[in-house]
A and B are shown apart, each in its own frame.
Chain A
Amino acid sequence: MAQLAVATPAVGRLRSSNARSRRIVDRIATAALWIASSLVVLLLLLFIGYEFVRGASAISWHFLTGSPTAGEAGGGIGPLIFNSFYILILTLLFTVPISVCAGMFLQEYAVGGRFKAIVQFSAESLATVPSIVMGLFGLLVFVSAFHWHFTAIGGALTLTLLNLPAMMRVTQEALAGVPATYREASMGLGATKWQTVLKVILPSAIGPLTTGVVLVSGRIFGETAALIYTAGASVSYGRSAYDLNPFHTAETLAVGLYQVHREALVPDVDRIANGSALVLLVMVLVFNVIARVVGRQLTVRFTGKA
């Protein structure tokens, strides 16, 4: 075996030649990262906080429940909030079953194989469709081809298409988090795959699944581009009443924020816009908090571990 000549530094020195400059680089880089990160995160939070303050003055019971006006100041956003929730629930009714079933299929049943690859590729491609383009698809199909014109259900179906990939990914991740030992134990006791999935795996995954669904709901609540030309943003027709008919126009809060600025028909555009923005921000926070809390509670409930 070849002998190595070992380089011994001079006795008493404990340095390698470039250690000092490397230490300086390390210190500078560390400081730069600290500064950049703190600055950016603080600025972002300040940005948001400022909007909170600005919008707070608009908030009142009348604002939150009253209807928009046709041209005077003092309108409210009540029906818009209602429409946002209405469309959200409609969307979830379609999205969740389809996505969860597809997610279950891909995660638990299809092991390799061409169908799985095609579905996976389709889901990834679907996820790349920009929201405005999806809105145009909804326009072509639901508004024009089906002759529905602007409807809540048209918007909900469009949003369904938009969120199917995200919801499926949520399902897949939730299912992947379930330990393999659960499946083995269940199958080992003679259960069929479906029984295993339904009675063992799904309950274990219910926590992360719910968290994901609520988080996606938060995004659905704030969606605008896909709804403008499907659920409508007409001047006054679809936004002045609490309407449960899915085949009527339904302008949501997010769309309303865009519209009130664009139309500029009322004198207090800024007040309404800031108030709407504040409500949207609060809803995002609420959805986030609910997602975590409910998710954790469900996990404890169904699996017994915190």
Chain B
Amino acid sequence: MVAVRANKAHRDERIALVVLMSCSGVFVIAIALILGFLAFNGTRLFWGDHYSPIAFLFGTNWDGFGGSYGAAPFILGSLVATGMAILIGGPLGVAIGVFFSELAPKRVASAFKPAIEVLVGIPSVVYGWLGLTLLVPAIATVFHLPDGDGLLAAGIVLSIMILPTVISLSEDALKVVPNSMREGSAALGATRWETITKVLIPSASSGIAVAVILGIARAIGETLAVQLVLGNAAIIPTSLLQPASALTSEIVMDMGDAPDGSGFKHALFAMAFLLLLISMGLIILIRFALRRRT
């Protein structure tokens, strides 16, 4: 009797293993397919339509229907908007994470934690709508302009969007540092600020770095929020207060209008592929660097 049950149990075990491994395999197949499809369609502009990659990456003249596919304005727009988001949202997020972990009284910190989690979950289209209807008019008023859209609005909206993530993860990273570090530093005569900057943040640096990386990831890939506040002018931005464009916003705007099989559509796919490469490459590179350091 026991032997029969044991055999069934072992057979179940084998079936289970097959199922679980197959599900794990889905991940591998998925990323391979995505890379494959995007690479194929993303490079079609170059090997199919014989458009020069240099002209694509560095050309500043974009005219989808007219056959000119210089994507530099979008690349620059994405980089500037993301850069602003990280420069504002990164340090601010870490600082507030420090606040919640080290300075705030327990009750205040635990009251705010659910609030931060809710902020993480707010859809980007809502952030975009709020940016469009609240922030853009405010910028227009402050700077005496007819319209407030542009990279400044996008940068601010993006930094607001990544703040909750950076705050939450930085706070978690700091909480993991054992209390014996805080005591040891205090016992040597350090002030709390010195303990934070010289011991705690260095100890939590890999966790904080992950927080910032995830912030960058969200900012680069963000589509709706930036599309609504950027103004969508396909020119190289000369000021933060002019309408501009980014890779994501251009793709979502024109993908529906570009005719199938046209150079326009292929150019959009090339932009998507570029976006994928930047996003994936940046994050994986940084993760590798982190893993080597610890």
Q: Give the interface of A toward B (CB within 8 A).
A: 16, 22-23, 25-26, 29-30, 33-34, 36-37, 40-41, 44-45, 47-48, 50-51, 97-99, 101-102, 104-106, 109-110, 115, 118-119, 122-134, 136-137, 139-141, 161, 164-165, 168, 191-195, 197-198, 215, 218-219, 221-225, 228-229, 233, 254-255, 257-258, 261, 270, 273-274, 277, 280-281, 284-285, 287-288, 292
Q: Cβ of B9 < 8 Å from any Cβ of A?
A: yes
Interface residues on B, range: 35 or more
Q: Name the B residues within 8 Å of A287 (CB-CB).
A: 121
Contact A40 B23 (CB under 8 A): no
- Measured CA separation A87–B254 after assembly (Å): 25
Contact A36 B30 (CB under 8 A): no
Contact B96 A40 (CB under 8 A): yes
Contact B220 A25 (CB under 8 A): no
User: What would 10 more interface pairs be, CB under 8 Å, given A25-B193, A47-B160, A224-B124?
Assistant: A22-B191, A26-B191, A124-B283, A129-B276, A141-B33, A165-B27, A192-B13, A215-B117, A215-B121, A258-B228
Contact B224 A224 (CB under 8 A): yes
Q: A106-B24, A133-B272 are in contact. Are A128 and B130 (CB under 8 A)?
A: no
Q: Name the A residues within 8 Å of B284 (CB-CB).
A: 124-125, 128
Choose among A105, A139, A223 the residue that contacts B20 (Cβ–Cβ < 8 A): A105
Give, as a whole number of angstroms, the nearest-CB distance from A143 to chain B.
11
Q: Name the B residues within 8 Å of A277 (CB-CB).
A: 125-126, 129-130
For residue A25, which residue of chain B has the nearest CB? Answer: B193
Contact B9 A222 (CB under 8 A): no
Choose among B25, B134, B192, B217 the residue that contacts A50 (Cβ–Cβ < 8 A): B134
Q: A40-B163, A140-B37, A284-B121 are in contact. Are A132 and B30 (CB under 8 A)?
A: no
Q: Name the A residues within 8 Å of B25 (CB-CB).
A: 119
Q: Name the B residues within 8 Å of A119 (CB-CB).
A: 24-25, 27-28
Contact A218 B129 (CB under 8 A): no
Choose among B21, B31, B287 the residue that contacts A115 (Cβ–Cβ < 8 A): B21
Contact A37 B96 (CB under 8 A): yes
Contact A136 B223 (CB under 8 A): no
- Measured CA separation A30–B191 after assembly (Å): 11
- Measured CA separation A122–B220 after assembly (Å): 20
Contact B28 A122 (CB under 8 A): yes
Instruction: Select the stretch in B56-64, B66-74, B99-107, B237-245 that faces chain A.
Output: B99-107
Q: Name the A residues within 8 Å of B139 (CB-CB).
A: none
The SS class assigned to the A binding surface is helix
Q: Can you list 27 A-B contacts (CB < 8 A)?
A: A25-B191, A30-B103, A44-B119, A44-B160, A47-B134, A48-B119, A98-B26, A102-B20, A102-B27, A125-B284, A128-B283, A130-B221, A130-B279, A136-B255, A137-B37, A192-B10, A195-B12, A219-B121, A222-B121, A222-B122, A229-B255, A254-B125, A255-B125, A258-B228, A261-B132, A270-B133, A288-B121
Q: Cβ of B251 < 8 Å from any Cβ of A?
A: yes
The SS class assigned to the B binding surface is helix
Choose among A101, A192, A228, A233 the residue that contacts B12 (Cβ–Cβ < 8 A): A192
Contact B191 A280 (CB under 8 A): no
Q: Cβ of B76 < 8 Å from any Cβ of A?
A: no
Choose among B31, B121, B129, B256 the residue that contacts A257 (Cβ–Cβ < 8 A): B129
**Binary per-residue interface labels of chain B (67-106) against chain A in the complex, 1 for a CB within 8 Å, 0 otherwise:** 0000000000000000000000000100110111001100
Q: A36-B92, A164-B30 are in contact. Are A130 and B223 (CB under 8 A)?
A: yes
Q: A104-B20, A119-B28, A277-B130 are in contact. Are A37 and B104 (CB under 8 A)?
A: yes
Contact B34 A129 (CB under 8 A): yes
- Measured CA separation A48–B280 after assembly (Å): 32
Give 7 closest A-B pairs by Cβ, nearest first. Answer: A222-B123, A130-B221, A101-B23, A105-B20, A26-B191, A225-B223, A37-B99
- Measured CA separation A222–B221 after assembly (Å): 15
Give, as a whole number of angstroms, the nearest-CB distance from A148 to chain B.
15
Q: Name the A residues within 8 Å of B26 (CB-CB).
A: 98, 102, 164
Q: Cβ of B275 < 8 Å from any Cβ of A?
A: yes
Choose among A102, A255, A261, A274 the residue that contacts B23 (Cβ–Cβ < 8 A): A102
Contact A132 B248 (CB under 8 A): yes
Taking CB atoms and an 8 Å cut-off, the chain B residues in 137-178 that contact chain A are 160, 163-164
- Measured CA separation A264–B213 after assembly (Å): 37
Contact B220 A130 (CB under 8 A): yes
